[in-house]
A and B are shown apart, each in its own frame.
Chain A
Amino acid sequence: MSVTISFRDVVKKYGATKVIPELSLDIKQGEFFTLLGPSGCGKTTLLRMIAGFNSIEDGTIQFNERVINQVAPGKRNIGMVFQNYAIFPHLTVKGNVAFGLQNRKNNKDDIHRKVEDILKVVQIEEYKDRMPKNLSGGQQQRVALARAIVIRPDVLLMDEPLSNLDAKLRVEMRNAIKDIQREVGITTVYVTHDQEEAMAVSDRIAVMKSGIIQHVGTPQEIYQRPANIFVATFIGRTNIIDGTITYASGKYSVSFGAGYQESIQGINEHAMGIHGNAPIKISVRPEEFYIAEDQQGLRAKIVSSVFLGLNTHYYVDLETGPRIEITQESTTDQILQPGTTVWLKANMAKANVYDEQGEVNYTGSVRS
């Protein structure tokens, strides 16, 4: 039934350019795995290599023990959901869903029963005799999903399946997809550029850039301990501040400049490679800055504010130069006016510290 997918030094070339250089990755059985990254990062290319629509120039992709490099797409036993759904416009909902079963020489009663069952699972049984043009975007999405999973594939592949839906339907559908995936338990590879969507549906996420996987982890790991500055800035919002790390009497502390210093726990000396002082980049998310009532910390001046109900966002200019963003829970008090001076402190338990190039995370035991 459901399989593990292993990538071993997989290479994709277009002409002489390597768009994916030697990529290795393991996707567990029954896992909801997401490839996340900006457009052009190679995530769809990789998905289409699993599907068999893109060739594999080097390395292997395996479903369990079976190498599938040379297996025709139709023989890989995959179910695929396309960005534009690719619903056959001349077939009814039932006809679309039954198509894959008919290719598999099932008998008529079997097909009928399986189609009815799956239409119930995706909750479109009342539309089974409709033509696709009479369906809404969300309903078409459900047809595409039903068509892909009714054949009981080893692997379910989804290429940005929600990008054509409006915001509200997107949230509804991603919950539906998550529930259905859990119900049928198929190993699923999901491609998206929307980090919020990725976090909402995935068991694990691989963040990709330029064909290279930057970080693989659970949504929580990726958000809280991003492997490098690219991941930190791509997932959620963050402020990157130049600073230094110093070692004194068995403790590390981080200096933000202008005399503001905080001690920090859990520095990974192995990752750091040196035992002592070094220039660093500090990543602090907007919500991890708080305004210090004691007038200690980083001095900053409010530039502008955006009231968003639950939170209020402020853009502030630090005394040391850079402009950063901070988020405060909205209060009934007045919003801070531009020009007001405030003192900021960072919650160091959640901050991340990187080397000067932003490539290595010194905080915690993360690996990319």
Chain B
Amino acid sequence: MTSRKKFDVWMVITLLIFASYLLFLAYPLFTLLIKSFVDGTTGDFSLAYFEKFFSKKYYLNALVNSIKVTVGVTVLSVLIAGPLAYIMSTVKIKGGKWIQILILISSMSAPFIGAYSWILLLGRNGVITNFVSKVFGIAMPDIYGFTGILLVLTLQLSPLVFMYVSGALKNVDHSLIEAAESMNYTGLRKMWKVLVPLVTPTILAGALLVFMRALADFGTPMLIGEGYKTIPVLIFTEFISEVGGDDGFAAAISVLVVLFATSVFLLQKYISNRKSFTMSALNPIEPKKANGLWNFVAHACVYVYTAIALMPQLYVMYTSFLKTSGRIFVPGYSFDSYRSAFSKIGDSIYNTFVLAAISIVIIVFVAVLIAYITVKRKGAIANVLDVFTMFPYIVPGSILGIALLVTFNQKPLVLSGTIFIIIAAFVIRRLPYTIRSSAAVLHQVNDSIEEASISLGASSMRTFFKITLPMMITGVVAGAILSWISIITELSTSIILYTGNTKTMTVAIYTEVIRGNYGVAAALSTILTIITVLSLLLFFKLSGKKEITM
């Protein structure tokens, strides 16, 4: 067996994938690292970029702002979504199934659409702002800056914690609760001593995901932050800015961000490894009908949260049907916005579909192979591949975009401005969804199934295509839909890599919002949301689940 294993088809495939990761992930990140330590004009080793960053208050401020936003969003998400998940798991809420789907939908849309919608609602000239000041004569607090970012990102990201914790609570055996009660642990004491420790590893995992997303988010602070600069905004402006744009400095900040994210990631892994345990419930906690005040409070919490989370989406949809005159909304309804959306930037819809479709084909192909290699063909290279697939988790999209751009804008491989570079970025960033979902199914497939096939005379390729692949197909499709949704709603990489031919819908929406073309932006957002929702519903139908693991 050992002698045959040394050089088979799978080894070749593993090496090919490994080489692609080296080329499109390791090499660009390494280039970025080098750039940050090299003086842009002389080409000598220099720490000047780092000195610049740490010596100017302006830059340090961005760092402090980023940390404030990220920590704030993470803490708020856990505080809101944790109890919410507890309520939904223990109290029977009317329409609970639908609420869960709605919460998921609200989290799957592009965050900056939420930001721009909240400006329409609570901004200086917002609907609610005007309404409150007219009716009550009260001025609403300022939505711009820290408050706005916190609001938008918390609403956007708390569903992740909600999903994680709901999932964990499903695995808590009800008899654990009863055991606690039999030992006279009741009410809050029971929750604190039994439930909270049981779901802590899950809360940490969810919190980490929120932390990474909040740290990397670019669109939200860009739109609603106004003067409040965070690190992704800083990197973007340093890199893109037409006057005095500085690759090296952007690279240096990127290196700092990746270092910071990696340490947080490792810290979380360290803590949760020490606290983790596996549970599977024979009789899970079932939501029960509550009575009286608690029932009312539970319903109120869930409904209010869902309404607030969905409000921006719904309001954007509403405004897309408003009549416009130039850039201003005027009374009455029309399809004007859709008309001009299609005529002016219809290309972006086409681009989004083409880019996403090509990426998904590659993702499915590569993810299936990687999942198979990492689950069934363990070895040194497979382990490194496994680590590579974690990278998109810690490297923010805008930084990956910059890394690819500075690497592939020179010979021998010039890709900048082509669709290849965007596809490469999409594939690397969104592979993990499909890999994880495929691997999860593959873990359930017993090794002896493959051995049975081989003992019956099938080759290893025939075994893979006839036996293994059909068995993992549900996981592959479910993962591919998630990858698909996250590609069509992604902004931070495409905003860096796009050119006239590769402008995607999110980039188009973003630029229309910046230009103040709210009608067109709303129409495009609505189209995007509808595609997202349809894809999600397909996902639920295919996977038979009402939850998503990321």
Contacts and interface: CB of A to CB of B under 8 A. Distances in A.
Interface in A75-97: 75-76, 78-80, 82-84, 86, 88-90
A345 interface: no
B456 A74 contact: yes
A215 interface: no
A210 interface: no
A75 to B, nearest CB: 7
Contacts of A54: 1
B1 A55 contact: yes
Contacts of A53: 1, 451, 455
A82 B448 contact: yes
Given A70-B3, A72-B4, A86 B456 contact: no
B534 interface: no
A80 B450 CA distance: 12
B518 to A, nearest CB: 50
- Residue of A73, A89, A148 contacting most chain B CB atoms (<10 Å): A73
Nearest to A75: B457
Contacts of B458: 74, 99-100, 103
A100 B471 contact: no
A147 interface: yes
B453 interface: yes
A151 interface: yes
Nearest to A70: B3
A51 interface: yes
B458 to A, nearest CB: 5
A73 B446 contact: no
Interface residues of A, number: 28
- Consensus secondary structure, chain B interface: helix
Contacts of B3: 70
A226 interface: no
Contacts of A103: 456-458, 462
A52 interface: yes
Contact of B446 (A52, A86, A90, A100): A86
Contact of A88 (B4, B453, B455): B453
Nearest to B469: A90
Contacts, number: 67
A104 interface: yes
Contacts of A147: 452, 456
Interface of B: 1-4, 446, 448-449, 451-459, 462, 466-467, 470-471
Given A86-B451, A103-B458, 15 more contacts: A51-B451, A51-B455, A52-B1, A53-B455, A54-B1, A72-B454, A73-B451, A73-B454, A74-B455, A74-B456, A82-B451, A86-B452, A90-B470, A99-B466, A100-B457
A86 B449 CA distance: 5
A100 B463 CA distance: 11
Given A54-B1, A72-B4, A90-B471, A100 B456 contact: yes
18 contacts: A53-B455, A54-B1, A70-B3, A73-B451, A73-B454, A74-B456, A74-B458, A74-B459, A76-B455, A80-B451, A82-B448, A86-B449, A86-B452, A88-B467, A90-B470, A99-B456, A99-B466, A148-B455
Shortest 3 CB-CB contacts between residues of A and residues of B? A100-B456, A103-B457, A86-B452
Contact of A73 (B448, B455, B471): B455
B453 A99 contact: yes
A74 B448 contact: no
A80 B451 CA distance: 9
A76 to B, nearest CB: 8
Contacts of A86: 446, 448-449, 451-452
A299 B539 CA distance: 77
A52 B2 CA distance: 11
Nearest to B466: A99
A105 to B, nearest CB: 10
Nearest to B3: A70
Given A88-B467, A100-B457, A80 B4 contact: no
